[in-house]
Amino acid sequence: MQAVNYARATDVDDAVRLLIEGGENARVLAGGTDLIVQARERKRNVDLLVDVKHVEEFMVLEFDTNTGLKVGAATPLYQVYGDNNVKINYPAIVDASTVIGGKAIQGRASLGGNLGNSSPAGDSLPAMIVLGGVATLAGPNGRREVPVGEFFTGPGRNILETGELIVYISFPPVGAGEGAAWERFIPRNEMDIAVASAGAWVKIEGGSVTDARIALGAVAATPLVANDAAEALIGRPLTDESISAAGDAASEIASPITDMRGSIKQRKHLAKVLTERTIRMAADRIR
Amino acid sequence: MIPEPKVVNTIINGDSKQILVSERDSLLEALRDRIGMTGAKEGCNNGNCGACAVIMDGRLVNSCCVMAAEVEGAEIMTVEGLASRDELHPLQTEFLDNAALQCGICTPGFLMSSYALLQENPDPTEEEARFWLAGNLCRCTGYDKIIDSVLTVAKG
Ligand SMILES: Cc1cc2nc3c(=O)[nH]c(=O)nc-3n(C[C@H](O)[C@H](O)[C@H](O)COP(=O)(O)OP(=O)(O)OC[C@H]3O[C@@H](n4cnc5c(N)ncnc54)[C@H](O)[C@@H]3O)c2cc1C
Ligand code: FES
Ligand code: FES
């Protein structure tokens, strides 16, 4: 391990102060399942770890039918997917967070860490995007709110400025006629990085889709918001044809690379298949 | 910049411990290299194999992915805490009787992971057990004997 110091933040302002004092190689430590490994393998220069897990605001899990869900940036995944309100109202979060690593990873890993790591293949990211997730950030100039879909700027890169961190992620309340789902493709059943993934959220009123969101993972330099795919659904009943059109639109905007996990052709195909599948799952989940 | 040595106060297998660590140590390094508790094994050192699994404040974690400094004030249970003074834990007995290990490097991790599974779900299905133990790798046994042992213990 490279030489690294550890500091435990006492509140949000203290965390911001520690990050600024620590300079460019100071990093927020949530579950450490990305960061500790990257620091050890020298994929990232780190000289200060700012542990935020002892600050309540980073560890919340609150649900209210009127205001929605608030998940602390460092709240461990097992708590998130183990929560009954999350299971009932936000099953797309459960779809993704139960397959991030194995049980020993989920005891520590967090949604904030998945966001902060900003991998295009981060499994919770398309799910958070389609659910309308908004990250509340704190920094030297105060707080701001950024939709998850606008957070990423490239592989491992995001809009966080020096000294800025994620405090929590909020999700709007679930209205009538709404459903969402997320799925990925991997060659085995668990413990692997997505070849491709998709999330879908639909709202169906009076037999017609009135709103939709589709997002894709691992098929571009960042998680993708697939507006064209959503447009293909909106304003008409959900049919095999409209679902297929959405799948085609998703495949169209996917701009994947070929690597050891999959080829461009396979990933474009998967973008269509997974988009279609998750749209159907989302519609089935409408209560 | 060389990190200062640091004293970490923790409870390991029920005993209070003060460990003198470097801030760059992982929990796995602190256990093995600072206090000679070599039960937890280093397999991959990157979170993938589960050989270093321990229980921290009631949750299964990979100790190679925890900084030693993080366990200040925490409670840790390692494989050394599984047996009572004169009796092996039923999981340990069953692993032995059923030959659920060969080289043994994965065994402490499988035992801790299986223990955590049975704490949370005392009567898992085979699929639940396989899914839970997916974070533990074994190069020798082919897994079936491990899964059988866990299910046998669960059935009592
Ligand atoms: C064996 C293994 C399997 C894995 N499998 C998967 C998988 O299937 N799918 C998947 O998506 N990921 C996987 N991961 C990666 C990792 O577990 C996830 O990305 C996880 O969500 C990271 O969360 P964390 O809390 O551990 O983050 P950390 O490692 O603590 O942090 C990750 C990054 O985000 C930054 N960060 C953390 N919190 C904040 C914050 N509040 N504000 C600003 N920046 C922050 C950190 O500085 C760091 O750069 C796996 C990792 C391992 C080791
Ligand atoms: S050594 Fe920790 S998971 Fe392999
Ligand atoms: S017994 Fe050798 S790795 Fe499992």
Residue B62 with chain A: CB contacts under 8 Å: 104-105
Strands B75-77 and B5-12, how do they pair? parallel
Same fold? A56-171, A178-286: no
Q: Does residue A108 sit at the B interface (CB-CB below 8 Å)? A: yes
CA of B63 to the centre of ligand 2 (A): 7
Smallest CA-to-CA distance from B28 within B104, B93, B109 is with B109
What phi, psi does A19 have (nearest 5°)? -65, -40
Nearest CB to A103; choose among B3, B6, B113: B113
From the number of C-beta atoms within 10 Å of its C-beta (0-12, 13-18, 19+), residue A221 rates as middle
B91 and B120 Cβ atoms separated by less than 8 Å: no
* DSSP letter for each residue of chain B: -PPPEEEEEEEETTEEEEEEEETT-BHHHIIIIIS----S--SSSSSSS-TTEEEETTEEEEGGGSBGGGGTT-EEE-GGGTSBTTB--HHHHHHHHTT--SS-TTHHHHHHHHHHHHHH-SS--HHHHHHHGGG---SSS-SHHHHHHHHHHHH-
What is the fold of A56-171?
3.30.465
Are B135 and A47 in contact (CB < 8 Å)? no
Pocket test for ligand 2, best of B26, B29, B52, B113 (most atoms within 8 A of CB): B52
Q: Tell me how many degrees the CA angle B45-A104-A158 measures, rounded to the nearest 5.
A: 75
Instruction: Tell me what the mean pLDDT of segment B40-46 comes to.
Output: 97
Can you identify the CATH homologous superfamily of domain A178-286? CO dehydrogenase flavoprotein, C-terminal domain (3.30.390.50)
Ligand 1 centroid, distance to A186 Cα (angstroms): 19
Class of domain B6-81: alpha beta
Each residue's pLDDT, cut to its tens digit, for chain A (287 residues) gives: 788 999 999 999 999 999 999 999 999 999 999 999 999 998 888 999 999 999 999 999 999 999 999 999 999 999 999 999 999 999 999 999 999 999 999 999 999 999 999 999 999 999 999 999 999 999 999 999 999 999 999 999 999 999 999 999 999 999 999 999 999 999 877 778 899 999 999 999 999 999 999 999 999 999 999 999 999 999 999 999 999 999 999 999 999 988 888 899 999 999 999 999 999 999 999 98
Whether the per-residue pLDDT at B1 is higher than 80: the answer is: no
- Does A41 sit within 8 Å of B65, measured CB to CB? no
What is the phi/psi pair of residue A128, to 5°?
-65, -40
- Tell me whether A40 touches chain B (CB under 8 Å): yes
A32 min Cα distance to partner chain B (Å): 6
Pick the CATH number of B90-155 from 3.40.50.300, 3.30.300.160, 3.30.420.40, 1.10.150.120: 1.10.150.120
Domain boundaries, given as residue ranges, for chain A: 5-51, 56-171, 178-286
What's the confidence (pLDDT) of residue A192? 81
Contact residues, chain B, for A192 at CB < 8 Å: none
Cα nearest neighbour of B63 on chain A: A104
Domain at A5-51: CATH code: 3.30.43.10
The owner of tokens 């169906």 is A204
Please report, as a single letter, which amino acid is at residue A192.
D
pLDDT of residue A189: 73
The residue whose two tokens read 């989302």 is A282
Q: What is the ipTM of this complex?
A: 0.95
B51 neighbors B60 (Cβ within 8 angstroms): no
- Which one of A103, A105, A190, A191 would you mutate to disrupt binding with B, by most B Cβ within 10 Å of its Cβ? A103
* Domain span(s) for CATH 1.10.150.120 in chain B: 90-155
Which residue in A26, A22, A124, A38 sits closest to A73, CA to CA? Answer: A124
Read off the pLDDT band of B36 (50, 70, 90): very high
pLDDT tens digits, one per residue of B73-122: 999 999 999 999 889 999 999 999 999 999 999 999 999 999 999 999 99
Chain-centre distance for alpha carbon A69: 14
| Plot region of B54 (φ>0 → left; ψ -120 to 50 → alpha; else → beta) | beta
Beta bridge partners of B67: B26
% of chain B beyond a pLDDT of 90: 95
Q: What is the pLDDT of residue B116?
A: 98
* Centre of ligand 1 from the C-alpha of residue B81, in Å: 29
CB proximity list for A88: less than 8 A, separation 6 or greater: none
CB-based pocket (< 6 A), ligand 2:
B 42-45, 47-52, 62, 64
Rounded to the nearest 5 percent, the helix, strand and coil shares of chain B are: 40, 20, 40
pTM higher than the cut 0.90: yes
* C-alpha separations of B134 from A50, A277, B48, B109 in Å: 30, 25, 10, 12
DSSP assignment of A100-142: SS-HHHHTT-BHHHHHHHT-TT-THHHHHHHTT-EEEEEETTE
Which ligand is nearest to the Cα of residue A37, counting in written order? 1
C-alpha B100 – ligand 1 centre gap (Å) = 32
Helix axis angle for B107-120 and B144-155, nearest 10°, is 40
For residue A234, what pLDDT is reported?
Answer: 98
**Which amino acid does the sequence have at A261?**
R
- Predicted pLDDT at B5: 87
Kindly report, as residue ranges, where domains of CATH 3.10.20.30 are found in chain B: 6-81
pLDDT at residue B3 is higher than 70 = no
